[in-house]
């Protein structure tokens, strides 16, 4: 069954009302960050006070499958060795001199609970952000354990709670929840379903995605992580191919694309070929390597007459910029899903 994109649906009030359950959680992203930060503030203050009576940890270990986001933020900043350990156990050397931090938005992962129990048994300092009635929380009980209670089951909001704590104890970059929430609110306003196509960047991006195979690239570590998440959202929304990768992975795809044929008739050809489109997530990184890679990608795209779209952000912190790029791309994926119809 053929699928086509009806852009009029993006401004159709009846369609938008019907798909409100898809769009409303995106608009509430900033509110979730604020709620988690406020709810965990007392426990975080207690953990910070306790850390002042202890020496700086020998190493920080981020345990559980959500540890990769912490790694993307902390690796360039953490003043002690940092390890992301997504498996159900801990490194063999982990002990009482080390800090184990755990993100468990849902709190029901048995592997994460196992890692927490192992950390408690070895006498590690443990800080876990998870729902207070969850499986992980029940294992995070010990003399040197602190629970940062969360309720929304939102990965980003849970991560911000932990990053705020690590910022306050001098183990991570600035991660002000209020700044992150403001960045998310700004995206929600700009991409609101009540803003029409002419002034809505997410709707315009969805139109560009509708007849393309997106290649999503972010230059910095956090922008690259956002690119992977955005590509995943596009795949889920459309059931089509969407790739995210480093420049050396995407360049061969761009260079192999055939030149555009001005005589192609997308109607006669049943929708035509979905050509590549380069989607750049720009968080303002000015590292020379990032600038050089972006230039190579955009040059290859221009050489094959491939469309280039850019999502930008002017948020003041790295975490806020990551959140802004991720939400912008997720909004575009949601509008892409909304506009696709089957004949």
Give the CATH number of the domain where residue 306 resides. Answer: 3.40.50.10490
What is the reported pLDDT for 68?
A: 86
Within-domain flag for 174: no
User: Do 233 and 130 fall into the same domain?
Assistant: no
Question: N- to C-terminal Cα distance for the chain?
Answer: 7
User: Do 185 and 300 fall into the same domain?
Assistant: yes
User: Do 20 and 47 fall into the same domain?
Assistant: no
Number of H helices, E strands in the chain: 14, 11
User: Do 16 and 73 fall into the same domain?
Assistant: no
User: Do 187 and 311 fall into the same domain?
Assistant: yes
In this predicted structure, the answer to whether residue 230 has a pLDDT above a threshold of 50 is: yes
Write out pLDDT tens, residues 74-131.
988 899 999 998 888 899 999 999 999 999 999 999 999 999 999 999 999 999 999 9
Q: What is the percent of the chain with per-residue pLDDT over 90, rounded to a whole number?
A: 84
Write out pLDDT tens, residues 35-55.
999 999 999 999 898 888 778
Within-domain flag for 24: yes
Q: What is the percent of the chain with per-residue pLDDT over 70, rounded to a whole number?
A: 95
Of 163, 166, 187, the closest CA to residue 177 belongs to 163
What is the reported pLDDT for 76?
A: 85
Within-domain flag for 290: yes
User: Do 145 and 195 fall into the same domain?
Assistant: no
The domain of 61 spans 41-149
Domain count, the chain: 2
The residue behind tokens 């975490």 is: 319
What is the reported pLDDT for 1?
A: 46
User: Do 293 and 316 fall into the same domain?
Assistant: yes
Average pLDDT, the chain: 92
User: Do 118 and 255 fall into the same domain?
Assistant: no
Within-domain flag for 302: yes
10 Å Cβ neighbour count for 310?
12
Within-domain flag for 161: no
């Amino acid at each position: 069954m053929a699928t086509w994109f009806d852009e009029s649906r993006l401004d159709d009030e009846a369609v938008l009302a019907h798909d409100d359950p898809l769009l409303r959680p995106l608009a509430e992203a900033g509110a979730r960050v604020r709620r988690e930060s406020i709810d965990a503030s007392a426990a975080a203050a207690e953990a910070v006070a306790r850390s002042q009576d202890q020496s700086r940890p020998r190493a920080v270990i981020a345990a559980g499958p959500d540890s990769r986001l912490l790694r993307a933020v902390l690796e360039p900043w953490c003043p002690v060795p940092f390890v992301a350990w997504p498996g159900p156990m801990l490194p063999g050397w982990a002990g009482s001199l080390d800090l184990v931090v755990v993100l468990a938005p849902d709190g029901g992962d048995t592997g994460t609970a196992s890692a927490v129990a192992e950390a408690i048994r070895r006498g590690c300092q443990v800080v876990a952000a998870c729902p207070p009635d969850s499986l992980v929380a029940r294992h995070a009980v010990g003399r040197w354990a602190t629970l940062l209670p969360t309720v929304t089951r939102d990965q980003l909001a849970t991560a911000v709670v932990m990053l705020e704590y690590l910022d306050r104890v001098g183990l991570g970059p600035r991660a002000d929840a209020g700044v992150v929430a403001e960045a998310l609110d700004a995206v929600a306003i700009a991409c609101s379903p009540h803003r029409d196509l002419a002034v809505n960047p997410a709707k315009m991006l969805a139109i560009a995605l509708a007849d393309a195979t997106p290649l999503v690239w972010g230059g910095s570590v956090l922008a690259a992580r956002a690119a992977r998440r955005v590509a995943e959202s596009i795949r889920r929304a459309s059931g089509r191919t969407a790739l995210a990768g480093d420049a050396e992975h995407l360049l061969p795809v761009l260079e192999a694309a055939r030149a555009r044929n001005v005589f192609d008739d997308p109607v006669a050809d049943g929708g035509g070929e979905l050509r590549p489109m380069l989607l750049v997530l720009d968080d303002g990184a000015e590292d020379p390597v990032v600038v050089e890679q972006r230039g190579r990608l955009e040059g290859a795209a221009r050489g094959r007459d491939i469309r280039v779209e850019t999502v930008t952000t002017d948020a003041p912190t790295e975490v806020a910029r990551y959140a802004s790029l991720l939400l912008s791309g997720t909004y575009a994926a949601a509008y892409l899903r909304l506009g696709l119809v089957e004949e």
